[in-house]
Structure 1
Amino acid sequence: MLVLGIHTLTHDTCAALVENGRLIFAVEEERLRGVKHTEAFPELAIQACLRFRNITMKDIDAVAVSYDPVKIIRDKIFGHHSSYLPDSMPRLSADLLFANRLAGYEQEIRQTMNYDGDIYFCHHHTAHFASSYLVSRFDESALFSIDGCGDFESAMIGFGQKNSVSVFDDYCIRYPQSLGFLYTTMTGHLGFLRNCDEGKVMGLAPYGNPATFDSLFEDIVTLKPEGRFDINMDYFLYQYRKNVGFSKKLEDAAGPQRIPGSQITQRHRDLAAAVQLWTEKVMLHVCNYLHDRTQCPNLSMAGGVSLNCVANGRILAETPFKRIFIQPAANDAGTAIGAALYYYYSRETGAPRHPIDHAYLGNAYRDEEIEAILNGKGLRYTLPRNLTEQLAGFMKDGRIIGWFSGRMEIGPRALGNRSILTAPFPAEMKDILNSKVKHREPFRPFAPIVRLDECGDYFEFDHESPYMLLAYRVRDERVQDVPAITHVDGTARVQTVTRDQNNEIYELISEFKRQTGVGVILNTSFNVMGQPIVETPEIAIDCFMGTQMDYLVFNNRYLVEKQ
């Protein structure tokens, strides 16, 4: 059975292909359009899925869509506005237009995709659950989905067993109560882009003192029994108007909104620290209740808020859960995966599961394609026999490498196939990368890649973190070895790797250790600020030529030196 999963109508649109329960391809539309977090229908992503399997839409048994239009219409129009009218009148007209489109969206999909087969609309948070648990190695797991708003719900919990997932119907945090919207609204207040720059707030937070805004957030967030929480809506306006986040009450308490691009003051740092701390408090509160309820040592997480690796690291360290799995596209893009998997296993109830062990699910480019592109651009290249040894030496000497090899990663993190790589030292390397390569804010940290078998030698946890979604404290005695990946609070957003997951990167780390004594390399996404991670060799070359990277490597074979 071939099931095509799609996430559409909102940010991070995506398509994924599942064959007999196995996830074989997935790609975000942004990578193919070159527009970060695009809301465009995932037409290019769908075409890529079909090309990968050499099929047409006539070969697809079902299309699974990661939301429930009936539920959205019911809850958005009749539920939400019945509670907030007349104050919500400014967004009612837009919501009515959206509801009208949803009512006919199945037909719109059929016409757009030229498809007359089965179309299944999957409950949004169920798709999140399925996207994580059904590709994990757990036989059973507690489930936690938390985001801004999906099907007018913002947080749900449940349980997974064998090849099924179930929602705990007695627990639901409903929009506009939303930890995700709290975080993204504060992101906008801090002068960053909503639904885009939340990671910047997480990176800025360790520079601040959350106690400055303790009384404010004690009034905004209330932790309640049984893992529930409330958000004080007096501080916000998004429940009334689209694209308007906070009220005058918030500005009176937190200060005026920062103008994008203006100086970041200590007040901004303190505010970032406060929203990050209270996000962690809420997530710990829910997870402790979820463990009490399920008594299961395993936790599968999804939803945009679960990209917060600092909160995830605290969940691992401070709750009774022993093992955590968060799939690489934990944001809404991943619901394309979850919707397809849920459809398949709800019909093939006895079918075996197929866990994933890596995120390399997108396009790859053949050597002959690479050669043709390099020759067409007139770029000189070599094919060194000892490339791994050379690259380790380059990094040891402070050189910066653009690395493009194998299949594209799914999810917002570059995990070693579309990466910029260098040494985790000296400390100044962080500033060099931020200013001369990434062209981004100086406070933003960089991530390490470490072999899983040596993770505990450098960090205070050795739990696998293949998708860079757990933050660990760097061991005190190792900070001097890896200062460029050690954030100001002594933590790092760790990616672990095994030989089976990515042999090329594993060998590069091993050779770098042989030459330097340090078994960690610095990894950041192959892009510049505001752009998606590079998807094609042409875009990789443009990015390489427009920055101060020193070398460009294709397919662990072709070496281009900056002239």
Structure 2
Amino acid sequence: MIPGSDRSYMSLLDEMIVSQNRYSYHVDQSWVAYYDQRDKWVSDKFVELMGPRREPDSEVLPHHMNLASALQKRLETLVLDQLRHARNDFGFSRLALSGGVALNCSMNGKIEASGIFDEIFVAPGSGDDGLAIGSCFLAHNKLVGGLKPAKNNDYYLGSRASDKELVDAVENSGLNYSKPPDLFNLTAQNLVDGKIVAWFQGGAEFGPRALGNRSILARPFPADIKDHINARVKFREYFRPFAGAILEEQQNHYFNISQPSPHMLIACQALPDKQKEIPAVCHVDGSCRIQSVNPDDNPKFYQLIQAFYELTGVPVILNTSFNVKGQPIVNTPIQAIETFKNTMI
């Protein structure tokens, strides 16, 4: 959404959500109802002041934008205040984040840009799905002991399809297919020509972000290509932004960020002189959720971006998840083909 600027919303949220004791906060429960009305979440008092919830596909009004912006700013203020206290009190210089709120890439970007920590790591499976990894670590330590988890950027842990499964799925679909001798250059040229590409390879990503194995791809220009994808491919709201997948070694030439962002969980500012090159992946405030791609973590996706870079001089492509609104990311070749056939990819 367009970032809002109505100070009255921020003042109200300052009163609704109050910082307490450096590491805690208090929510005025007269404004919320999620503890006994999950279909409603907020109280009648909230609705009376703010208006009813926006229904899916209804118009986004200025007060919707202002409220969303104020909520985001309140979250970022509270989290940054607590992290500053933590750095001063405990002295650690690196931060690992998990939990559902850690999927908020705008908040993560503010943490990274603040310079409070030398490095931040955001677990890709930060939501409930990440409990599986934690459970494995806990069980291992109880049964065997001595486990020292290391940072791992290989989160392509999901199901894989064999070559036979891929060919069988395509042949049974009735679609024509070929095996081009230079897949990367051909695909890059299709992107240059303005085509939308469905990209399915390897293991499915662990976590909610498509990182180049179950992705819909496009060139990052012109700006209106994102409107086409939202309306005719993803079938979702016009304001939803897209991520930019960039060659890791090129990221500092395009974005103001001090570390790689391999899991698409940090939003940062695009450099002013580069925003015009990649408008389809830049939000209205110049921010972008980026994915830093290197040849070790995902060699095929890296080769594709490299081929696009050689053709255009731009080391960035638009990357969004291979699904449509209301559906999970495709997992199998059959799901990929059905989504391909039912969209304007």
Tell me the TM-score normalized by structure 2: 0.96
1:295 aligns with 2:95: no
Is 1:359 the counterpart of 2:150 in the alignment?
no
How far, CA to CA, are the matches of 1:388 and 1:235 in structure 2?
A: 53
Partner of 1:532: 328
Whole-angstrom CA distance in 1 between matches of 2:260 and 2:150: 19
Contact 2:137 2:147 in 1 (8 A): no
* Distance of aligned partners of 1:517 and 1:217 in 2 relative to their CA distance in 1, 3 Å threshold: same
1:224 pairs with 2:20: yes
Q: Does 1:458 align with 2:259?
A: no
The one-letter code of the counterpart of 1:451 is L
1:321 equivalent to 2:122? Answer no
Residue deviations 1:270-319, cap 9 Å, x none? 11111111111121122112222221111111110110000011011115
- Give a deviation string over 1:376-434, Cα, whole Å, max 9, x none: 22221111111111111111111110000000001111000000011001111111111
2:52 is matched with which residue: 256, 273, 277? Answer: 256
Asked if 2 retains the 8 angstrom alpha-carbon contact of 1:459 and 1:475, the reply is yes
1:545 pairs with 2:341: yes
Structure 1: 5+ residue stretches without partners = 1-203, 550-563
**Which residue of structure 1 aligns with residue 237 of structure 2?**
441
1:462 is displaced (CA, Å) by 3.7
Kept in 1: contact 2:57–2:237 (CA 8 A):
no
- What is the deviation of 1:464? 1.2
Q: What secondary structure does 1:272 align onto?
A: helix
Whole-angstrom CA distance in 2 between matches of 1:398 and 1:212: 43
Equivalent position to 2:171, from 375, 383, 388: 375
What residue is the counterpart of 1:396 in the other structure?
192
Cα distance, 1:386–1:519 mapped onto 2, change above 3 Å: same
Q: Which residue of 1 aligns with 2:102?
A: 306
Q: How many residues align?
A: 345
Structure 2 contact 30–43 (Cα < 8 Å) conserved:
yes
Moved more, 330-339 or 353-362: 353-362
Look up the match of 1:479.
Answer: 275
Contact kept, 8 Å, 1:287 with 1:319, in 2: the verdict is no
Tell me, in whole angstroms, the C-alpha distance in 2 between the residues paired with 1:416 and 1:439: 21
Superposition map of 1:503-542 within 5 A? 503-542=299-338
Alpha-carbon distance change, 381 to 240 in structure 1, aligned in 2, over 3 angstroms: closer
Q: Residue 215 in 1 paired to residue 215 in 2?
A: no
Q: Which amino acid aligns with 2:67?
A: L
TM-score, with structure 1 as normaliser: 0.60
- 1:337 to 2:133 alignment: yes
The one-letter amino acid of 1:216's match is: L
Deviation at 1:219, TM superposition (A): 1.3
SS at match of 1:510: helix
Cα distance change on mapping 1:295 and 1:399 into 2, 3 Å: same
Q: State the SS of the aligned residue for 1:415.
A: coil
Contact 1:393 1:515 (8 Å CA) reproduced: yes
Query: Quick one: structure 1 residues 260 and 511, their matched pair in 2 at CA, closer, same or farther if it must change by over 3 Å?
Result: closer
Q: Is the 8 A contact 2:275 2:282 kept in 1?
A: yes
Judge conservation of contact 2:10–2:70 (CA < 8 Å) in 1: yes
2:78 is aligned with 1:282: yes
| Contact persistence 1:445–1:485 (CA under 8 A) | yes
How far residue 354 of structure 1 moved from its aligned partner, in angstroms, is 4.5
Q: Is the 8 A contact 1:210 1:277 kept in 2?
A: no
Q: Deviations along 1:475-507, whole A, 9 cap, x unmatched?
A: 001011100000011000111111000001111
Which one of 69, 72, 88 corresponds to residue 273 of structure 1? 69
Q: Deviations over 1:54-108 (max 9, x none)?
A: xxxxxxxxxxxxxxxxxxxxxxxxxxxxxxxxxxxxxxxxxxxxxxxxxxxxxxx
**Counterpart amino acid of residue 108 in structure 2:** N
Matched, 1:492 2:288: yes
Determine the C-alpha separation between the residues in 2 that align with 1:259 and 1:527.
22
- 1:412 is matched with 208
Secondary structure of the residue aligned to 1:244 is: coil
Q: CA deviation at 1:345?
A: 2.4
Q: Among residues 215, 218, 228, which one is paired with 1:432 in the alignment? A: 228
Runs ≥4 residues deviating over 6 A = none
Which residue of structure 1 aligns with residue 33 of structure 2?
237
Note if contact 1:481-1:518 (Cα within 8 Å) is conserved in structure 2. yes
* Aligned equivalents of 2:323, 2:149: Cα separation in 1: 34
Deviation at 1:229, TM superposition (A): 1.3
Cα 1:260/1:510, change in 2 over 3 Å: closer
Deviates more, 1:351-360 or 1:303-312: 351-360
Alpha-carbon distance change, 332 to 391 in structure 1, aligned in 2, over 3 angstroms? same
Task: State the match for 1:128 in structure 2.
Answer: none
Equivalent residues in 2 for 1:103-118, closer than 5 Å: none
Match of 1:19 in 2: none
Mapped contact 1:499–1:506 kept (Cα < 8 A) = yes
Give the AA of the match of 1:467: H
Deviation of 1:341 (Å): 0.9
**Alignment-mate amino acid for residue 145 of structure 2:** T
Change in 2 beyond 3 A, CA 1:210/1:274: farther
Q: Which has the higher strand share?
A: 1
Partners of 1:455 and 1:462 within 8 A in 2 = no
Residue 419 of structure 1 aligns to a residue in which SS? strand
**Bigger Cα Rg:** 1
Shift in Å at residue 258 of structure 1?
2.3
- Three-state SS of the structure 1 residue aligned to 2:267 is strand
Query: How far did 1:216 drift?
Result: 1.3
Secondary structure, aligned partner of 2:135 = helix
Counterpart CA distance in 2 for 1:259 and 1:357 is 38
Amino acid at match of 1:265: L
